[in-house]
Amino acid sequence: MTYIVNLNALAGGLFIIAAFGILATRQIRACLKLFILQSLLLAASALLLGLSPFSIHLMAVAAINLVTKVFFLPWLLRRLLNEEVYTRREISQAITIPSALLIALVLTIGAYFFSLSWVETASAASAIRINVPIGLAGLLIGALTLTTRREAVSQLLGLLAMENGAFFAGIAIAQGLPLIAELALAFDVLVLIFVAGVLTRAVHERTGSTAVGRLSSLREEPHE
């Protein structure tokens, strides 16, 4: 079964590259495509880990990911927002892309060393040694994406990328999760995407743009 572990490692490597890609891509449409790729890789990893020993839970996770993040999210965003949002290039970011990538690199290395003490109980060939550090790194890079981006859609993608990171670790360490939890989780992600989509549209209608970074009227300063 070593080829399964190797394939899973490949999926993990591509997963983290996709996370870097989401962080560094300016155009919203390209960002969305990278996010879909990342969700596909998460599903692939769940599928691989679920093959041996066969686990219906991981198959469910893979299926849920495909339905919610690969099909439902792009469909809903396309319905709620007009084309102009996707083709826009995001110029204003909190920090420049090279420095964001540098911070992401530091976070990835940090995630690896931080999770060393957690995975030491797992056997050397186990998928846990791949998935946990990469999942943690994915979570942290998603958080970085969220804080550096100013556009509502890319912030939403950062949020979902964080969730992908948590799940990437989760599929390796929480395989016995009851099915009802997975179903509820799927419902949860659906509601999240829907609510965030509706909110993005409301912001767009109200302010004429989705640049949530420019929303800064609520502060602790005396009102005029």
* Residue 135 contacts other proteins per CB under 8 A: yes
* Residue 155 contacts other proteins per CB under 8 A: yes
Q: For other proteins, which stretch binds (CB under 8 A), given 26-34, 65-73, 96-104, 200-208?
A: 200-208
How far apart are the C-alpha atoms of 8 and 42, rounded to whole Å? 10
Answer for which of 54, 121, 123, 124 binds other proteins (CB under 8 A) is 121
**How many residues belong to the site for other proteins (CB under 8 A)?**
49
* Residue 198 contacts other proteins per CB under 8 A: yes
* Residue 113 contacts other proteins per CB under 8 A: no
How far apart are the C-alpha atoms of 183 and 221, rounded to whole Å? 45
Whether residue 178 has a cis bond before it, omega within 30° of 0? no
How far apart are the C-alpha atoms of 201 and 81, rounded to whole Å? 6
To 5 degrees, how large is the angle CA 151–CA 191–CA 63?
100
Q: In this complex, which beta carbon is closest to other proteins, that of residue 60 or of residue 169?
A: 169
Q: For other proteins, which stretch binds (CB under 8 A), given 23-31, 57-65, 66-74, 192-200?
A: 192-200
What Cα–Cα distance (Å) separates residue 69 from each residue in 39, 47, 79, 127? 6, 16, 15, 23
Q: For other proteins, which stretch binds (CB under 8 A), given 12-20, 22-30, 74-82, 172-180?
A: 172-180
* Residue 123 contacts other proteins per CB under 8 A: no
Q: Which amino acid is residue 169, in one-letter code?
A: A
Number of Cβ atoms within 10 Å of the Cβ of 96: 10
Judged on CB neighbours under 10 Å (0-12, 13-18, 19+), 195 is exposed
To 5 degrees, how large is the angle CA 129–CA 115–CA 63?
55
Rounded least distance, CB 22 to other proteins, Å: 14
Answer for which of 12, 50, 142, 197 binds other proteins (CB under 8 A) is 142
Rounded least distance, CB 181 to other proteins, Å: 5
* Residue 53 contacts other proteins per CB under 8 A: no
Q: What are phi and psi of 39, to 5 degrees?
A: -65, -35
Rounded least distance, CB 7 to other proteins, Å: 22
Q: Name beta bridge partners: 89.
A: 27
How far apart are the C-alpha atoms of 189 and 69, rounded to whole Å? 8
Question: Where on the chain is the footprint of other proteins (CB under 8 A)?
Answer: 117-118, 121, 135-136, 139, 142-143, 146, 152, 155, 159, 162-163, 165-167, 169-170, 173-174, 176-178, 180-181, 184-185, 187-188, 191-192, 195-196, 198-199, 202-203, 206-207, 212, 215-218, 220-223
